[in-house]
């Protein structure tokens, strides 16, 4: 009997394409909007949390001449051709400091033929022994030292083979950073001394704005000893002529900006969701009205109330699950497209595309679909319960002859009836 109910429900769905299509669109928009908002926020927030957990430094220091925001300097990877003398490291290193490291930035330009990478990216010279970030992202944890003409590349860097040219120098790729969703994915890492030498060869003296490239750095990272407050340390270095930034407050500012962005996106998506739910109720009402007489006839010839309920439930479930699956998949894909755009143009760190991300958000979409379907079914059953066979027969005085209740459903299109 179950397959008969399913067959009859499918016939009702397929022959009422206008109502079915409208119901599909309403369910799709309701699920899609929530999956899109949730997937976008989750990817950005996870990226920020990952970056914060991997970067163990407490303070970042860089020249006043840097013309981008603290958030962009820390997370975006925009190469800044601004430098300060490394003597600032001695001024930063006092009794409150546990560890200090520095970096030297350049940017490759493929159009100028300076390297064999396929797009513009940042080259970072690092103090490998004291580095507080890159080691945690290595796919190969056995790299203790970067020798001359050895580099580590980000997960998105497209270089064929193990050897390439960087600033006209042959180099060997010693390691690859796992994909992080940050600027490191498009970075090339080498020792600071080696990058300084290359910069002197490939760039004019005025490029460094009066600084000696042999002793220049772009930024410094400071990790404080346990129990030392950042306020106390910032007070101790207030006379140093460089910009000092608390990484924790910068991250907090970024998270606040992301929260505001999410609230705007969520507000728009919730409006779509609510309108979708209201539209679903309207379409269900049309569906019941279009089958009002049919349901009344079924009751009149002895079909059980439970079986009539199952027919309507089957119709709604087929439409709801179909729309929910498509909405979940497209919602995830659209969320990743939005996240990639935000990462590229708004310069925010994001989480990586993973099987876990897809599974979690697809399951979330499935649960939401079941919830919407459940609410719709409750509303539907209340409408169907009000159908009276007497009222139906009074509206259209039809006498159905020689048709058994069990034969009526599979032969609905061939039923014999006379109307008087």
Residue from 320, 319, 321, 313 nearest 377 by CA: 313
Low-confidence ranges of the chain (pLDDT < 70): 1-6, 8-9, 53-54, 68-69, 72, 75-80, 107-120, 136, 139-142, 161, 181, 291-303, 345-348, 352, 384-420
Domain ranges of the chain: 2-51+254-419, 64-241
Tens of pLDDT, residues 112-152: 444 555 556 778 888 888 887 777 677 655 677 778 888 88
Decide: 50 and 181 in contact? Cβ < 8 Å. yes
Where does residue 166 rank: exposed (0-12), middle (13-18), buried (19+ CB within 10 A)?
buried
Please report the pLDDT score of residue 400 as a whole number: 43
Looking from the CA of 124 toward its CB, the CA atoms found within 13 Å total: 25
Decide: 93 and 100 in contact? Cβ < 8 Å. yes
β-pairing, 219-224 vs 398-400, is: unpaired
Residue from 105, 82, 101, 85 nearest 93 by CA: 101
Please report the pLDDT score of residue 331 as a whole number: 92
Residue from 5, 117, 130, 149 nearest 56 by CA: 130
Please report the pLDDT score of residue 32 as a whole number: 92
Tokens of 62: 């860089």
Residue from 379, 385, 354 nearest 39 by CA: 354
Please report the pLDDT score of residue 329 as a whole number: 93
Please report the pLDDT score of residue 16 as a whole number: 72
Where does residue 397 rank: exposed (0-12), middle (13-18), buried (19+ CB within 10 A)?
exposed
Residue from 220, 182, 180 nearest 86 by CA: 220
Please report the pLDDT score of residue 112 as a whole number: 41
């Amino acid at each position: 009997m179950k397959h008969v109910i399913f067959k009859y429900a499918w016939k009702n769905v397929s022959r009422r394409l206008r109502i079915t299509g409208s119901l599909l669109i309403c369910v799709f928009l309701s699920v899609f909007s929530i999956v899109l908002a949730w997937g976008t926020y989750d990817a950005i927030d996870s990226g920020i949390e990952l970056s914060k957990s991997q970067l163990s430094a407490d303070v970042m220091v860089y020249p006043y001449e840097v013309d981008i925001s603290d958030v962009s300097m820390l997370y975006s990877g925009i190469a800044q051709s601004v430098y300060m003398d490394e003597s600032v490291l001695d001024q930063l290193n006092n009794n409150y400091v546990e560890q200090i490291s520095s970096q030297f930035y350049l940017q490759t330009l493929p159009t100028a033929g300076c390297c064999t990478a396929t797009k513009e990216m940042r080259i970072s010279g690092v103090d490998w022994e004291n580095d507080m970030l890159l080691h945690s992202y290595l796919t190969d944890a056995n790299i203790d030292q970067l020798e001359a003409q050895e580099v580590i590349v980000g997960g998105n860097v497209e270089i064929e083979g193990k050897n390439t040219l960087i600033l006209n120098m042959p180099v060997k790729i010693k390691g690859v950073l796992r994909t992080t969703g940050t600027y490191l994915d498009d970075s090339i890492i080498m020792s600071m001394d080696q990058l300084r030498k290359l910069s002197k060869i490939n760039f004019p003296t005025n490029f460094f704005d009066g600084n000696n490239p042999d002793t220049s750095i772009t930024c410094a990272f400071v990790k404080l000893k346990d129990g030392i407050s950042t306020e106390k340390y910032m007070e101790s270095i207030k006379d140093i002529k460089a910009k000092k930034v608390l990484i924790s407050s910068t991250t907090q500012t970024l998270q606040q900006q992301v929260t505001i962005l999410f609230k705007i996106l969520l507000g728009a998506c919730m409006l779509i969701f609510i309108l979708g739910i209201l539209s679903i109720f309207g379409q269900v009402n049309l569906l019941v009205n279009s089958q009002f007489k049919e349901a009344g006839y079924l009751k009149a010839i002895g079909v059980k109330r439970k079986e009539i309920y199952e027919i309507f439930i089957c119709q709604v479930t087929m439409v709801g699950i179909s729309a929910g699956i498509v909405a979940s998949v497209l919602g995830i894909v659209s969320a990743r497209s939005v996240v990639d755009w935000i990462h590229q143009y708004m310069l925010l760190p994001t989480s990586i595309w993973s099987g876990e991300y897809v599974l979690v958000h697809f399951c979330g979409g499935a649960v939401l679909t079941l919830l919407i379907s459940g609410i719709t079914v409750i509303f539907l059953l209340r409408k169907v319960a009000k159908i009276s066979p007497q009222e139906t027969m009074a509206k259209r005085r039809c006498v159905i002859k020689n048709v058994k209740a069990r034969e009526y459903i599979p032969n609905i299109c061939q039923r014999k009836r006379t109307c008087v």
